[in-house]
Amino acid sequence: MRQLLYNEIKKMRYQDLNLLVIFDAIMTEGSITRAADRLALTQPAVSNALSRMRTVWKDDVFVKDGRNIRPTVYAQNLWSQIRGPLHNLEKAMDQGSFDPASAKRTFRFSAVDALVSVIWPRLRKVIEEEAPGINIHAVPYSIKTDELLHNADVDMLIGANVIGDSVIQTDYLYTPCYVCVMRPDHPLAKADLSLEEFAAADHLLVSLSGDTTGITDQALAQYDLTRRIAMSVNHFSAVTPLLKESNLIAVMPSTTIESAIFNEELAVVNPPIEVVAPQLSLCWHKRQEHDPGLSWLRKHVSRIVKDHADQHYKMIEQRMCKEGSCQAKSQHLNHSEMH
């Protein structure tokens, strides 16, 4: 097979080496449309190139798989042989060629909704000042972060570190701090929340996967305790309205609920158990390690998130319930509402 592939590549020198570049883009993006965007070509131009590939290589190369396309075994083997040398050649030719001021490019990024709310306004300001031709498109977050990157569904994402995957590159951002939040006049809005009270409460869970157990349940299991997940939601923006109008409590990263905490819409206390949070990192695929455009974007996103986390953790401690403080806030709020 290796000799056959070598012969095919050797023959292509006399036919159309541009096919390799287009083939690589389709394999990387997993879509003819996205490959066309990546190469600044029209979709018909990429489709015509695919037809030439099938003629020259005497293989279907890509076949339909529902709404998507799937590479044939021949295409997978060919890509495994040429993507390394081809990317090295692109690196040698394009290193340092990205000019933010004139670049026109679209990046696909995935993160939970709470992080998008933090990053997008600050990132948009940078783009308007430095790179007006750059588009940033949000892709729905999935806990299967490795699949998003392997399948080239995104250029990068923010998620927990992918353990044991050598092709996923990471930049550590911060470790979330899990807090317990509830409405300010909730009976459990107190500094001395006991483990028994905590476990007996009705809990709201943010579950991106649909699973109704989380790291808080793992911590409770160490004490032979369980909790009732009375409701679950699949995005963080739904939390504040629910907690403000109910007896539910929730354990979640403080950065995902900070607006409600800092605006005193919700009370925040330390959970009576230690919840060990996974580290959050900026993640991208090794195939884009030397992409100067993505390097530019990574630099800004990393700075935005790290600066925000530093500021957040300086402020969050001031909002924690101290003895009597949550009840005092609640009385103040109720008094204000009466007037």
Cβ–Cβ under 8 Å, residues 171 and 303? no
Residue 224 Ramachandran class (φ > 0 left, ψ -120 to 50 alpha, else beta): left
Q: pLDDT for 196-225, tens place per residue?
A: 999 999 999 999 888 888 899 999 999 999
Q: Which ranges in the chain are annotated with CATH 3.40.190.10?
A: 105-174+280-314, 178-275+315-338
- DSSP character for 31? S
The residues near 214 (Cβ < 8 Å, ≥ 6 apart) are 205, 207, 251
CATH number belonging to domain 2-94: 1.10.10.10
As annotated, the residues of the chain forming the CATH 1.10.10.10 domain(s) are 2-94
Per-residue pLDDT band at 51 (split at 50, 70, 90): very high
For residue 222, the Cα-to-chain-centroid distance in whole angstroms is 30
pLDDT tens, residue by residue, 63-101: 988 878 999 999 999 988 888 787 766 665 555 578 999
Residue 230 confidence (pLDDT): 97
Fold held by 178-275+315-338: D-Maltodextrin-Binding Protein; domain 2 (3.40.190)
Q: Which is nearest to 182 in space by CA: 257, 248, 230? A: 248
pTM above 0.75, yes or no: no
**Residues, the chain, total?**
339
CATH topology of domain 105-174+280-314: D-Maltodextrin-Binding Protein; domain 2 (3.40.190)
**Cα end-to-end distance, the chain, whole Å:** 81
Is residue 134 within 8 A of residue 165, CB to CB? The reply is: no
Going by C-alpha positions, the residue among 167, 176, 184 that lies closest to residue 253 is 176
pLDDT for 54 beyond 50: yes
pLDDT tier, 334 (very low <50, low <70, confident <90, very high otherwise) = very low
pLDDT digits (tens, 9 = 90+) for 99-146: 999 998 899 999 999 999 999 999 999 999 999 999 999 998 887 777
Give the DSSP H/E element, type plus range, for residue 259: helix 258-262
